[in-house]
Structure 1
Amino acid sequence: MVKSQGDAELEAGKALVEATGDLSLHQRILGDIEDRILSGEWQPGFRIPFEVDLAEQYKCSRMTVNKALTQLAKTGLIERRRKSGSYVTQPRAQSAVLEIRDIKLEVQSLGLPYDYSLMAKTKRRSNADDRLRLGLTSPVSILDVTCRHFAGRRPFCLEERLINLNAVPEAEAESFEETAPGPWLLNRVPWSAAEHTIRAASADDAVAAALGIAPGAACLTVERRTWSNGSYITHVRLIYPGDRHALVANFTPSQPK
């Protein structure tokens, strides 16, 4: 079929309108989907509306929608499956086994907003379990702190920490309402050695409620105690949902003697 000059001009005009509006529409679609994922409205595994539906919603071409989804897939926020559609991916954090890392940086490395909340803070006399965790031989005053770290709106990690007030007496006056105990300690108390213990565990009712997972769900537990010049500073138990975290260790072959 031969197109008339009028038809050609009309199509050219439509193409120009879409081309000039393509960037803003692309950014709008991109931003809207990012916001829904990062806010937790669209959870991991959620199927994103099909291209044709998004094109109808935004009154644009499927090509514009495709560009936005392709960019989201490159950033790792969504996964595109052939003949099935696009799905929100499950972020999987990685932390180095032999490093003391800031949880805030772990969350931000996933491209997710970080938040923190203090659940409980109590000064008390250490009991037998506390002394075992802190490597102490006699009772001392300790600070018992429980808090949560968030990635977007989802709980990322539950932190249960004991602080030896004999070693860090200034911790008693710190509220820990705005700052998590980990970075606060790292910025104020030099440590000379640390010990990690890594376990798999099932979430009890309290842990499940704190992390927003089902009771009995698999969790990854990292326990660490640090000391300085022979004095134990703190013991922390970090509990992660098992399907959202991995531990990484870097090493080299040992050298023959």
Structure 2
Amino acid sequence: MSASQIDAVALDGVGPLYDQIRRAIRDLILNGVWPPGTAVPPEHALMERLGASRMTVHRALVQLAREGLITRRRRSGTIVASPPASHAMLDILSIPEEVRGLGHAYALTVLQRRDGRAQRPVVSLFELGRAVDVVHLSVLHWADGVPHVLEERVIHLATVPAAAQEDFSTIPPGDWLLQNSLWSQAEHAISAVAATAEQAELLAIAEGDPCLLVERRTWNQGEPVTAVRLLYPGGRHRFVGRFGPYGKV
């Protein structure tokens, strides 16, 4: 933290002191003076600079964190948060394109794969028949080395038998399916869920943190193609759709 950085926090004299502090820091962030990843001055430095009590400074920072403008970590301090990634709400997304569109480097890790008869937990999770043969994949997608989304997917081998020969180490399953299969109908749902301990560890968030769960199933002429669950850390993402009176525009 430089002296010029903390000197940039200027109050406007309007309203409660905590709200003046909140607005001063907010404006520095929104105007790009403090870009994402910038260290926010610690509470004691802000107290000294602004002549405010610890409680007042703390209240301002808590509100900024609630607004998603800063991220507070006990050990690493407070930094300016990255803006949430935006997603087209109903499109069949290419996750690598999504990540690169945000200006980040893409990578993937296949965490687990199992081919053959779907096991009971998978049958329940994806509402499958008992005697269905699938490729069951768990994949972690990365953006600049940060976990971006956790994918769990089944691909129906009766409909897409070529999936058995693909290892998905270089091309993610969603992109591979767009190139190697057809679909005529899709079902799409988005819900808010809390991260389990295992999910939180993989996504580098805290257990119980809010996540956006995107669930999608596709069929081709009535035959199931794939079902996928995409778990996004809620604080890093938002979904956007634009519609007109006759559908998407």
> Aligning the two structures, in what range does the TM-score lie when normalised by the shorter sequence?
0.5 to 0.7
SS in 2 for 1:107: helix
Report the RMSD for the aligned CA atoms in angstroms: 3.3
Match of 1:194? 186
Counterpart selection for 1:143 from 131, 135, 139:
135
Higher helix share: 1
Partner of 2:205: 213
Aligned to 2:94: 102
Matched, 1:165 2:149: no
Match of 1:184 among 171, 176, 179: 176
- Deviation, structure 1 residue 254: 5.5
The gaps in structure 1 that reach 5 residues or longer are 1-47, 54-69
Seen in structure 2, the aligned counterparts of structure 1 residues 49 and 144 have a Cα distance that, compared at 3 Å, is farther
Please tell me whether residue 250 in structure 1 is matched to residue 246 in structure 2.
no
Structure 1 segment 1-257 matched on structure 2, within 5 A: 49=2, 73=32, 77=36, 88-127=80-119, 130-131=122-123, 136-137=128-129, 139-253=131-245
- Counterparts of 2:182 and 2:146, CA distance in 1: 32
Q: Once the two structures are aligned, what percentage of the paired residues are identical?
A: 36
TM-score by length of structure 1 reads 0.65
TM superposition shift of 1:124 = 3.0
| Matched residues, number | 191
Gaps of 5+ in 2: 7-28, 41-45, 47-69, 71-78
Structure-2 change in CA distance of 1:138 and 1:216 (3 Å): closer
CA distance, structure 1, for counterparts of residue 119 and residue 171 of structure 2: 26
> TM-score if structure 2 supplies the norm length?
0.67
Post-superposition shift, 1:80? 11
1:164·1:234 contact (CA, 8 Å) conserved in 2? yes
Counterpart-to-counterpart distance in 2, 1:91 and 1:52: 21
Residue 26 of structure 2 corresponds to which residue in structure 1?
A: none
- Residues 216 and 138 from structure 1, CA distance in 2 versus in 1: closer, same or farther, beyond 3 angstroms? closer
1:127-175 per-position Cα deviation (integer Å, ceiling 9, x unaligned): 4664566565451211110011111111000000011111111101111
Shift of 1:126: 2.2
The separation in 2 between residues aligned to 1:133 and 1:78, in whole angstroms, is 37
Query: Where do 4+ consecutive residues of structure 1 move more than 3 Å?
Result: 48-53, 76-81, 86-89, 127-138
Task: Write the letter of the residue equivalent to 1:110.
Answer: L
Amino acid at match of 1:73: G
